Amino acid sequence: MGLEAKNYESLGEAARLKPLEVELKRLEDLSEAIVQDFAYMRRREEEMRDTNGKEYIFSRSWIVI
């Protein structure tokens, strides 16, 4: 479930959390989502770097032939 789809007010009521605890839970979820996004971007960047290196080698091999 996405961060925007969570209803923190009802979560706080169900778990009997204080408003500050609800806000802390929201911020914790937000920070976890940011960490996951950065990890995804890092993997994509590594994949792109590998792809670009292979394409460079492939294009240079055609020049030699």
Query: Which tens digit of pLDDT belongs to each residue from 6-61?
Result: 888 887 788 888 999 999 999 999 999 999 999 999 999 988 877 766 666 666 66
Instruction: Using DSSP, state whether 7 is helix, strand or coil.
Output: coil
Which tokens in the block code for residue 6? 């969570």
Decide if 26 contacts 8 (C-beta within 8 A): yes
Which tokens in the block code for residue 4? 């925007």
| Distance in angstroms (rounded) separating the CA atoms of residues 42 and 39 | 5
List the chain domain ranges. Answer: 3-64
pTM given for the model: 0.63
Alpha carbon 58 to chain centroid, angstroms: 32
